[in-house]
Structure 1
């Protein structure tokens, strides 16, 4: 069966080509793409035999697409669509593997005839090469990707039927023995590999993976996985036969049938990984860290052990230093970012149109991360999701989606280095806050919302002192009775209710995050009588301040 891919950035022309009677010339499946980049993604996901592409498209041109196809999919036949003024480009493209070209405007019968001739040519080539040999060649050309995909399925626990695993291991020429011990190694690029682009990070990661495979293959069977989030995952199994290690005879290499592979020696593996770090530093001028699960039953324990490695890596900050650790040696406690949850929240600031205060809060959060050495992937994601959820709430209040409010910059890919570098996270926060401020300031000014923001700032700044209705009214130059009525109309609560809620939420955060004595904490929140503060706190949280604090310290 022949599969055809049609590529054109003109929707009407593309649909017109798709609507042809391709089955009449033996085309079994027709796929389409509106750009060169989209075509490249289709080629990654689906087998294709013939590509018909326009030469002039935005982004990746048809000429660039043909070069890409020749480099990565040499078996695919390309037909070029060219305007009269583009004949020189068409002639150049033929040098890059184009089998033919058609001049625009294209008549359907000419297109069908040319694709039919190309299909017949493919049929002849297949007969000459033999379907079996061709299948083997295709398999070998895709072997690294197929192996990485199989390992990803095992690590993610997506391979539910293990009965056919041995057949796939044999097909992919993997000599790993089931129900035997393996080691799972996760490598991470540290801060010296600095780039603002995820693609550059991936290239560095592939280089690290190649060096690691070359070095580790001296003593282990190595099964490399895909590059994800700046991590390189490797599965190792000893080449040494277990009986040879326990006996006095010379070590025998796998395959052997009478005993399983020997367990991976954690000390020797540590030495090899240290050597790997030295080679990466010398060849790539960068640092890598390694986290190891030395005893993993293959394949049954892979998903659980892999998740443990990912979870531990997310707790360890990236730095200029590097490490080699066995899983479980480093168990940092994940602590909440107090600046993020101390009132007022990001959502409250954004809802009140307090753009500069929101930027200040983000700076405080990132500063806390740095001061506590907590610039981990876990903390970066915590900040990202907190701010994004607050922005989504504001967008939905306006009847919009988040991209409609602040642009597509609000959507950060899972593999983005934004989650791994604080300066990129800071820039992302600044960009989306600028976007929501621009959207907010483009609307007519709301004096009442500005008044509420002014009131809230005064309360937050003076919470330990006088925040009576009279003092607030003096600050905003309004009569206390009018101010009270106006505030309740706008905020749907009394000023006194807001002050009490702010005090209680701030008290709860201080109890969880500091060792401040309760009577001192009461004074910080404007309570002259500590027992009265405790009474109000218990009514609010159904626990005394000390009981509330003990709940968190018991963890």
Structure 2
């Protein structure tokens, strides 16, 4: 329910409108009275007014002046202007001050109620929209930590985003990160009794560790956290601006570069010191232990995946099955003589692209993987074999999820891996890869066409069977267990004809056959075709054939006589 304020220097007008009209019927629960502009302002200051109805000509502050103040201080109030003068200048002023209605006295009660009712409906619509927006904002805020974590997890896995898209995501998720900003990664692995907890209890412990880390680091560092695909807690750590100017505390990392040079010693040592405090806090308060690994420093976002791979390598090599370790990661990864395939294993994964039916991006991914393989690992039999089986398994999985054998989709020659014929040379591997992909795509497109053809056959059969009954789009869609829009689209896509035109064509063709029987009256033909109104049938028939049913009969008789 809403509240109304009526303002006029004529008390009789105010009292009559306020006391005699059925305001509750249109959704107004309270009506306030004011006999001058100054009284109206006092009411507005002490009550929540939704609609104000004011006269224009009043002594002291007139209605337009009052409206201007209301627009400045109470922007949500809807305003109706009443005036006994029809001068256009008043209407212009009313429009300039965003009045919603302008009524000329004398005005009828029905008109006043109608205009006020329209504003009530508008207010309700605005409130509903505001509530919906507030619900969306609330849901977004509740899911913000997860959304931030998902973005970081994707970046760790090597997801590539354009600078503009990444910047937009960071801004929308309220993450304070700039291009080239210096960062380090901190990885925590929960150990001992914490690994034996059930999913719910483990989630609570992980939440507690993240909160503990944020409290310990907040004075000197910013944290951005996520849970990675291995179940580790990963924090992206950046330096906060120092709150004092002491020599030690004011030292910042070296200027941003593409390299991963370490920052000045105080920041690095503080990071290790606080990480050690985090370990002690987990032991003391959560009765468990964690191993913590700290990466080298890098430049955002260029070094994220590389530093993450280094930290995982150190976890495997230096931590293993031990627990409670604190390790600063060295540059082991750069010294490794052999590296893993990158393009093929970075997200989105090949099998996921296939499952989504995005063959264009699938082809782009395979092209990128092929370029990496041929430029870096052309002489490595192991890398070539790894790539082959990775692609082969993705193709096989895709086939099986579509209820088919890979052999049925790409043929026995391409699916046979006996002797690994496809990878006897890079050229044959490349040819096998893209030829197999092309056959997979053709097979799926063929199945899609077959599915559409089957659906259209069922639609036509239903229409022919129920032609004299209800053959509305909704009825057809219900019989197909499809959405009406989808039914309409696939019929148009497959036949080139609108479904409604198809139904009309069948009815008119049947009408022509029935009209050839002289024993049937026109109204009987109409009823047999499902038209309850014979006149409407005549109108439709004439629009389709350009003649009336009677004229059509006469033409048939003339042809018969000839």
TM-score under structure 2 normalisation? 0.33
Computing the radius of gyration over CA atoms, which structure comes out larger, 1 or 2? 2
Larger RCO (CA within 8 A; separation ≥ 6): 1
